[in-house]
Amino acid sequence: MTRNSLRLCRFLAPLAALCVPFAADAHIQWFANVDLSGDPLSPWDVMTNLSFAGIALLALVVLAFAGAADAWLTRAAGRHGLIGRLHRHDMGVNGLTLMRFGMAIFFIANVLFFRDAPVILTPELKTSSPLPDVLQVAIAGALLLGRMRLAAGGLLALFAYGAMGYGVFHVMAYPIFLGIAVYLALAGAGPVSRARALVVLRVAVAVSLMWGGIEKWLFPQWTYPLLCGSGKALTMGLPPDFFMQAAGFIEFCLAFVLLVGSLASRVAAIALNVVFAAAIPMFGMVDVIGHAPFMLALVVLGRTPNTLAPWFGHVAAHRQGLRWGAKFAGALGALPALYFLGHQFAFGRLTVAPLASATLTAVVLSIVGVALGWVLVRLVGGQRTAGGF
């Protein structure tokens, strides 16, 4: 094996470790009666749990190595033909074609498969009104006829209808549909508009997946009946609470890499689709239909460059690794706290105690993450660039 091959394997190893889909993922709301209005665990209680803290530390280290690997591979793209082709690959307008026909099939399948119990966009948003089915058929027709902006408008209307029936907090678990609507409306208007639409789609998909990971941490009890019953084999002998923590980290970390990575974002997109596919044998057609928009979006994002990557990157591999670690720690502190505060506000329980707990969690972990990156950069030498972490 050549020296370059050894170096490539050494840098790819952390990415491979990060992307192992050891936990089949599914939205538990689609398969069980969950009570979103119930009290979630406090972010402070979750993050001071020893097993959670241990997994978080491991995730931070792996992501730091993944960031370094991503920077090295991005720099190597100019010297290695295969890496260069992967780095430059862009499916262009073909992504819009895939999304157009894929979403048309999704809406038709939604209407036909759930005809006895109609749904709004996702399996748990059930309705007794015929209006959502009419609207979904109309959206599918607009997509097949190439009326992209009309379809996007219908999708936004359907999302708003779901928010009216279930509350804004509930449907904000699915900003992916807002991202798809923007992508459908703008991706066909030229390269500049397509690039902007892809940024919106990427952020929407990443936030949706991070939201799902956070729910696994703050509402682990939703999944316990499944993991202690028909889905017991999924845990591989691990305690259900530890399994849910680990599964949440897989989803959260891959979504983070999808957002910040260059070549690594493509790997994350593939890994997430493998994870979704792994859940299909157990959860069946409900899972296939429910995750179809996610899988379509991930195919598009996995085959297009991530224009957000330079915001999180650095030409020096070690510095990019430290940036990723610091930003991940900040996201890990802030996002669960924001979820918790949003939940408490939505259900009228935002008092001093939960506010203080969530704020403390966000502030402490964000400071720790930024301080860690700052100190380590000083230790390895050099001054921070003008762009900061």
Residue 382: per-residue pLDDT: 43
Residue 19: per-residue pLDDT: 39
Residue pair 258/203 in contact (Cβ under 8 Å)? The answer is no
pTM over 0.85: no
Residue 388: per-residue pLDDT: 40
Residue 214: per-residue pLDDT: 92
Residue pair 179/150 in contact (Cβ under 8 Å)? The answer is no
What is the C-alpha separation between 388 and 381, in angstroms, rounded? 15
What is the C-alpha separation between 317 and 66, in angstroms, rounded? 10
The DSSP secondary structure of 177-241, one letter per residue, reads: HHHHHHHHHHTTS-HHHHHHHHHHHHHHHHHHHHHHHHHHHH-GGGTHHHHTTTTGGGGTT--HH
Residue 225: per-residue pLDDT: 60
Residue 22: per-residue pLDDT: 39
Q: What is the mean pLDDT of each successive set of 10 residues along the chain, which is 389 residues long? A: 42 40 52 74 85 89 88 76 71 92 96 91 90 95 95 95 90 93 92 93 95 90 65 64 86 94 92 88 84 95 91 78 85 86 81 63 62 53 39
CA distances from 383 to 366, 375, 376 (A): 21, 11, 11
Residue 383: per-residue pLDDT: 39
